[in-house]
Amino acid sequence: MLKNIFNIYRHVLHNIWLFVVPILFISLSHQSFGQNVEINLGADEIALNESFKITVTLKDDRLKNYDRFPKITGFVQRGTNTSSSISFVNGKRSSTESITMNYGPTKEGVFTLPPFVIKINGKSYRSPGKKIKVGPKKQRAQRKNPFGADPFDDFFGNRNQSQEFVDVKADAFFALSTNKSEIYQGEGVTVTLAFYVSNKNRADMRFHELGQQITDIVKKIKPENCWEENFNIDNISGETTTINGQSYTQYKIYQAAYFPLNAEDIEFPSVPLNMVKYKVAKNPSFFGRNKKENFQKFYSKAKKVIVKELPDHPLKESVSVGNFRLRENIDRETLKTGESFIYDFDIGGIGNISSITPPVSPARSDFEIYDPSVKQDIKKDGNRISGTKAFQFYGVPNEPGDYDLKDYFSWVFFNTSTEKYDTLFSSLRLKVTGESKKNQYIMANDLGSFYDRIDLEENQLSAIHSIDFFKILMNLLIVVMIALGIAFLVKSIRDKKGVEKV
């Protein structure tokens, strides 16, 4: 009899479970119809000492901005917490980012969370709301099975037994790579730090405190004798690549171009990347814990880049190094003396754009050329730094004639393609008519006779307190004048007294 009752009990529970489980999962998760955004509401019933939660989750996207969470009568907001994760499963990357608002109940009862709309990254998403029942404070108690054992232990896994976890080997590696192994002083080398995951990988992994790790790694690898141009990677996304015939997904975490300021070789040490790597349950169960968080360090290999000294040249210490070209423009090629012109000298190409200096214009009286305005545009694409530095000159001719602007505007650099020094110079020709303004230019730049005599005077210091004959004579003259003044004053006083007596 007891056995028949037990079988009926088990059969009923089994049917109820098959019906309830799908409904349970549907009720626990309210998914909005927006792209990759879910709004999850907490449980229908909570205790007075528990929290109700509203969680917004984004899949494969970043949480840039969001509206205020709704207020719930009978609850107080207790702040938000955020979480994010990037996982690699079977060689594929997935990411989630979520923000959760915690609500604390102030009293027992049944409360209503009305339907609400919340904006996520500028788009509106709707939630249907729900009823929330708050009961008395929860007392933690262990439930016992009246039959002495749970008939579903065999089906869901025995939760009373300690779970055993096994390690899954990761088919992945961490690497520091450079686009060149040998460069000239001043030439750029692009350094890339990336995590590579094979498409055959079966280990479940994610990044751990990546921002802080990158900061620590850069401190170790950044050479002191180099100019840095950071590529500023702010969104880690995978790119498919092939290494030794095997397909990998590359996740760049840092990239920068370094330009050596001297001829010392650049050495990059081996650095670690700490990843969260999960162990999996040996006997997975439906409700049991099926994975366990663990950590594994992946180390990059040390790398050395040879830096060669530039060939001898008078401008060796100041020239830019790279592959550059000239683009020029002038607002007019024919004008009269005293009229102005605008000339653009734009240097573009591959190299350290920030260090490009303006072309040097010779000081001549037939032209007035003013210091240029400067604009620069730097592009970081692939493994190289390129861009343009534009110099705009303002000039006024003082003498009529035909002028080749190459005599006034030129720029020397070391060409990494030819491994020789090269010069960019103007190909434009300027035709000037009218009367000479040369004398006006000279007068405008004449600082006066005082400055003209500077070059003719001796360049020796002399004491300003030295005594000479002129100073002695002047001092004696002053003494005599003072004495005569006193004598005249005394005589005037005496004459005045004699008059009073009479």
97 and 83 Cβ atoms separated by less than 8 Å: yes
> Higher pLDDT residue, 233 or 450?
233
Tell me the CB-side half-sphere exposure of residue 373, using CA atoms within 13 A: 7
Considering only 8-17, 131-140, 262-271, 365-374, which range has the smallest mean pLDDT?
A: 8-17
235 and 60 Cβ atoms separated by less than 8 Å: no
pLDDT at site 451:
52
Q: Match 């005394």 to its residue by tokens.
A: 490
- Residue 118, classified by CB atoms within 10 Å of its CB into exposed (0-12), middle (13-18) or buried (19+), is buried
pLDDT at site 148:
43
Residues of the chain with pLDDT > 70: what percent?
Answer: 76
Q: Would you place residue 456 in the very low, low, confident or very high pLDDT band (cuts 50, 70, 90)?
A: low
Is the model's pLDDT at 13 over the cut of 60? no
Q: Would you place residue 25 in the very low, low, confident or very high pLDDT band (cuts 50, 70, 90)?
A: very low
Q: Would you place residue 78 in the very low, low, confident or very high pLDDT band (cuts 50, 70, 90)?
A: confident
Report the alpha-carbon distance of residue 324 to residue 386 in Å, rounded: 9
Q: Where are the domains of the chain?
A: 31-138, 172-308, 320-451, 465-502
Considering only 134-148, 182-196, 321-335, which range has the smallest mean pLDDT?
A: 134-148
Pairing type for strands 45-47 and 130-135 reads parallel
Q: In this structure, which topology does domain 31-138 adopt according to CATH? A: Immunoglobulin-like (2.60.40)
pLDDT at site 154:
46
Is the model's pLDDT at 295 over the cut of 80? yes
DSSP 66: B
Give the residue-averaged pLDDT of 2-15.
47
Q: Which of 90-94, 181-185, 438-442 has the highest mean pLDDT?
A: 181-185
Report the alpha-carbon distance of residue 8 to residue 349 in Å, rounded: 82
pLDDT at site 48:
86
- CA distances to 35, 272, 445, 451, 470 from 457, rounded to whole Å, are 83, 69, 21, 10, 21
Q: Which of 352, 134, 145 is nearest to 229 (CA)?
A: 352
Give the contacts of 285 (CB within 8 A, at least 6 positions apart): 156, 157, 158, 159, 163
Q: Would you place residue 328 in the very low, low, confident or very high pLDDT band (cuts 50, 70, 90)?
A: very high
Pairing type for strands 189-198 and 172-178 reads antiparallel
Is the model's pLDDT at 241 over the cut of 60? yes
> Higher pLDDT residue, 5 or 428?
428
pLDDT at site 8:
46
Class of domain 320-451: mainly beta
pLDDT at site 120:
85
Q: Would you place residue 119 in the very low, low, confident or very high pLDDT band (cuts 50, 70, 90)?
A: confident
Q: Could you count the other beta carbons within 10 Å of the beta carbon of residue 140? A: 4
Give the residue-averaged pLDDT of 308-318.
93
Question: Is the fold of 31-138 the same as that of 320-451?
Answer: yes
Give the residue-averaged pLDDT of 41-65.
85
Is the model's pLDDT at 47 over the cut of 70? yes
Q: Which of 340, 174, 358 is nearest to 250 (CA)?
A: 174
Q: Would you place residue 480 in the very low, low, confident or very high pLDDT band (cuts 50, 70, 90)?
A: confident
For 326-360, letters b (16+ CB in 10 Å) and e give bebebeeeebebbeebebbbbbbbbbbbebbeebe
> Higher pLDDT residue, 336 or 32?
336
